[in-house]
Chain A
Amino acid sequence: MMDWQPLSLTFRLAFVTTILLFIIAIPLAYWLAYVKNRVKPVIETLISMPLVLPPTVLGFYLLLAFSPNNAFGQWLDASLGLRLVFSFEGLVIGSLLYSLPFMVHPIQSGFANLSPSLKEAAYILGKSRWTTLTKVLLPNIRPSLLTGIVLSFAHTIGEFGVVLMIGGNIPGQTKVASITIYDEVESLNYAAANTYSLILFVITFCILLLVYLVNGGHVKSYWK
């Protein structure tokens, strides 16, 4: 009998991560697109690091930071009651860092590609920054928002190294689909590994296809 738990955990993780990332990335991308600042290149580099860094490196340092043997880990446990090592919450934090560039980059380039006169016209009409953002800027970068959401979601589904380092392999807590596949192969259970792999393959294919169809104008939708 097939165990659905790893798959549902994977999608729960991807869902929570994507929602949180969306909220975090909009102000961050806005700042990167519009503000000129000396520390900006450093921030941009940090955000892009997960693109090139082996996930195990990120996972390793998170493991150290979250470990209850460390000052930061102890403080988290004592003040917030958070145990981030080998827990779902820890995985969410790891995934946020790991998928951050996939949400920030599309939104940032969406903002940067808008004509600056749109924002200026709204200001001259007396609209606040917030109204300008929600009524003018965001509605006009819908394709970028969609790209960011879908890429982050798909990328979190594909996560392996970070999860393995800080999450381990606890069923229902941290045992996501990618880990399960590895596990099944280790125990030479190829049939089960194939089932999980095929499901992930088909789902991620469909998600990405949807983005290309919508943003390529093949689907008549409300944001065209």
Chain B
Amino acid sequence: MIDFRLEKRLNFAEGGQQLDVEIQLEKGQFVTLYGKSGAGKTSILRMLAGLLRPDAGHIGVQGQQWYDYQKNIFLSPQKRQLGFLFQDYALFPNMSVRENLLFALPKDQPDAIIAELIELMELRELQNRRPNRLSGGQQQRVALARALVQKPPLLLLDEPLSALDQEMRLKLQEYLLEIHQKYGLTTILVSHEPNEILRLSDTVYVIEQGQLVNTCTPQELFSDTVSQSFSCIGKIISLFEEEGQVKLKLLVQEQIILHRVAKAKARGWAVGQEVEVELDFSSIRVKKSK
């Protein structure tokens, strides 16, 4: 069981705000901290990891006191048993994949875990490469393996998939789910990707301006926002006139859509311009983007 209350005055470019959050987790949960950027989600992870010192509060993990303001306890990051996945992977560029994993291995621990993780994360072919010769997805797989070498009970994920493309994300989500179950981890994810949250987590904590405003399941969180149509921004990649109409080729979220609009409507449109694309169950509408 993980139980924490954290208070911290946060200073951002737009001004300061007070973070004050209290959360209890059961062992084996996979939870998400959800909210706008600047709400304090990353700060919570950093305080749990010992990278940022809270102003007040306490952190208890499986009966062990990591931080207690009143008793003046503050464990350094070195002494906290946890894995942390950074947005920029934080692999050591001077070491190969294998050396990165070996570096994480404590001196008295057998190295069987290294082979196991290399197998599990499918890193065998890559193990002698340096991080700069890996793709983003491969680097994050290595980082995930490295975070697990010490078999920590708690795994903290700071928007770990945000720099990856859709396909890689799906793949890494599978890895995350697999290791979460296999090693019986308690995992805290910071994310604002509905897909990811729905797929991975069982509970969502909604953080707004440093306060916990809602605790719910991912399904509850996103059921309110389901609508009959949705709109997004597309980019014109080609357009030409045909039989009194204008034929458009649009790039919408990595997909190409073909669409025709009336000539009058497309007056002044040009290749490279952004347009608003509205889709519902029966039709597509394209209009000038604001």
Contacts and interface: CB of A to CB of B under 8 A. Distances in A.
Interface of A: 115, 117-118, 120-128, 135-136, 139-140
B86 A117 contact: yes
Interface of B: 49-51, 76-80, 82-84, 86, 88, 90, 92-94, 103-104, 106, 146, 149-150
Given A115-B88, A117-B86, A123 B94 contact: no
- The majority secondary structure among interface residues of chain A is helix
Contacts of B86: 117, 120-121
Contacts of A120: 49, 51, 77, 84, 86, 90
A124 B86 CA distance: 11
A73 B83 CA distance: 56
A127 B76 CA distance: 11
Given A115-B90, A117-B88, A136-B92, A123 B51 contact: yes
Contacts of A126: 78-79, 106, 150
Nearest to B76: A123
Contacts of B76: 123
A135 B51 CA distance: 20
A140 B150 contact: no
A122 B51 CA distance: 11
Q: Counting chain A CB atoms within 10 Å of each CB, which of B93, B106, B146 scores highest?
A: B93
A124 B84 contact: yes
A120 B92 CA distance: 11
B88 A123 contact: no
A123 B92 contact: no
Contact of A135 (B83, B84, B103): B103
Contacts of B150: 125-126
Query: Which are the 7 A-B pairs with shortest beta-carbon distances?
Result: A117-B90, A121-B90, A139-B94, A123-B77, A117-B86, A125-B104, A126-B78
27 contacts: A115-B90, A118-B90, A118-B92, A120-B51, A120-B77, A120-B84, A120-B86, A120-B90, A121-B84, A121-B90, A121-B92, A122-B92, A123-B77, A123-B78, A124-B50, A124-B77, A124-B82, A124-B83, A125-B146, A126-B78, A126-B150, A127-B78, A127-B103, A128-B78, A135-B103, A136-B94, A139-B94
